Copies of this chain bind each other. A is one copy, B any other.
Amino acid sequence: MSLSNLSFVKSWVSIPANSDFPLQNLPFGVFKTENEKERVGVRIGDFVVDLKALYILGYLENLPFELSDFDAIVLNLMMKKGKKSVRELRNRLLKLLDNQHQSLQKNEHHVSQVLIPIEQVTMCMPIQIGDYTDFYSSREHATNVGMMFRDPANALLPNWLWIPVGYHGRASSIILSGQNIHRPKGQIKPDPNSNPIYAPCRNLDFELETAFITFDGKALGESISTEEAEEYIFGMCLLNDWSARDIQTWEYVPLGPFLAKNFASSISPWIVTLDALEPFRCESPKQEPEVLDYLKFKGEKSFDIQLEVSILTPNGLEQNIAKSNFKYLYWNMSQQLAHHTVNGCNIRCGDLMGSGTISGPTPDSYGSMLELAWKGSKPIPFSDGTERKFLLDYDTLIIKGFAEKDKLRIGFGEVRNKILPAL
C-alpha cells in the first residue's frame, strides 16, 4: 500500500466525518475496560482495536510479537521490538481494517471481541517513560521570553541559533490527559525588595508542546545522526508542560527550571506514528547562521500539524486562546535527537522528548499565557466577562492537534486537565 494514495482507502469500520482517527492514523495506546485490565490498542474512529484480542484470535500471526507485548500495561514491550517490527504490525492492521479485506470484517463474532466502543474504555498512561527531556526549539517563544525577561534588543541568547537548547525534566510527574492537577506551592518572591515567601503559585501557566517517544538507541558513548534519527522515533503526542512562572523566576538561575515544572506535565493518550504523519512532511524555517555539520540534515524533517489551545472556564465556556503549528519550530526532531546524543548520551525505549513551547509568529499563535497576556500586561478577555493573566483554579486547559490535507485528517485527540486549588 503506497503512502501517496492512502487517503482514498476506506475502512469497513464506520468513521465519523472529521474524525482524528481514520484508517490512515491508527495511533497506539493503552486502555482498560470495566471487565478487563490494561492492554494495548489502536484507535480507529470511535473504536479501540484490542490488539491482545486480535493476537489471541490469530490475526497477528507471522509478526515478531508475543502475547505479552500486547497484554501489557505500557507500550514499551511492543516498542522494544523496534521500528521495523512496529511498522509491520501497523501495516497488518491497515490491511485487516481496510474494507477491501474480508477476513476480520466478515467474522461478526471476532469483530465484537476486537472492536470496543471508545465510551467503554478508560485510557491509561501509554509509556513507561525512562527519561524526559524538554527542548526550547521555537525561535518565537525564545524571543518573546527574552524580550520580557532580558534585553528586548538582544532577546535571543548567543547560543540559541547554534544549539537546540534542551534540559532534563521529571519523568515521575508526567500524567495523562483527564487527570486533575493541584496548583503547586513553593517559594516565590512577589516583592523584589523583600524576602521570598512560601505560597501557592500565583502565575500558573501551560506550555503548548508536542513530544516524541523513542525506541531503544545506541550504546552509551555513541551518537545518532540526523539521518538516522527518525529510525529511533516511535511517534508523537501532545504535551502540556505546566509551568509555575513565579516559582521559575526565583529558582531558575543558574541551573534551570526545577520545581516550576516538575509538579506535572501532561500528555495525550494516543501515540501517532511518524508513518501516519508522512503525508504532512514539510520544510522547517531556514537556519541562519548555517548550523554545525552534525546538525545538518537532508529533506523535509518537519510536519504540518495544526495546534489549538482552549480554556474551559468554571462557567462552562470553552474559548480558544491560541492557534499554532508544529512547523514553526526552528529545530526539528532529528536535530534534537542528534544533538542529544552527540556527546554519547544514550537514549532508551520510552524516553519522552518535548518540543518546547510552540509559539507562532503572531500574538494569537503564542503557546503560553505568559506570552499571550504578555507577562500580565495584556489580560485575555473571555466571553463570559472574565479575563485571565494566568490560569485560574477550576480552569480546564485543552490542547488539540491535527494534520489535514487533501481530505485526509490525522489527529492527536487532545490533552485536557483541570486545575484544582492548592492542597
A residues neighboring B (CB under 8 Å): 130-131, 136, 157, 159, 162-163, 165-173, 175, 181-182, 184-187, 195-198, 201, 220-223, 244, 247, 250-259, 262-264, 289, 292-294, 339-340, 342-348, 351, 423
Contact = CB atoms under 8 A, between A and B. Distances in A.
Residue among A162, A166, A251, A343 with the highest chain B CB neighbour number at 10 A = A343
Contacts of A223: 185
B252 A254 contact: yes
* Number of identical protomers: 2
A259 B295 CA distance: 15
Nearest to A252: B254
A38 to B, nearest CB: 19
A133 to B, nearest CB: 8
A220 B173 contact: yes
A169 B167 CA distance: 8
B157 A253 contact: yes
Contacts of A262: 168, 343, 345
Secondary structure call for the A interface:
loop
Contacts of A258: 165-168
B165 A251 contact: yes
Contact of A162 (B157, B170, B187): B187
Contacts of A263: 220-221, 343-345
A344 B182 contact: yes
Contacts of A181: 221
A-B residue pairs, 3 tightest by C-beta = A256-B256, A184-B343, A168-B168
Contacts of A221: 181-182, 263, 423
A346 B173 contact: yes
Q: Which of A136, A198, A258 neighbours the largest number of chain B CB atoms within 10 Å of its CB?
A: A258
A28 B311 CA distance: 50
25 contacts: A130-B171, A130-B172, A157-B254, A159-B253, A163-B187, A165-B255, A166-B255, A167-B168, A167-B258, A168-B262, A172-B347, A173-B220, A182-B344, A185-B344, A187-B342, A198-B342, A220-B263, A222-B423, A247-B343, A252-B256, A255-B256, A256-B256, A259-B345, A263-B343, A344-B423
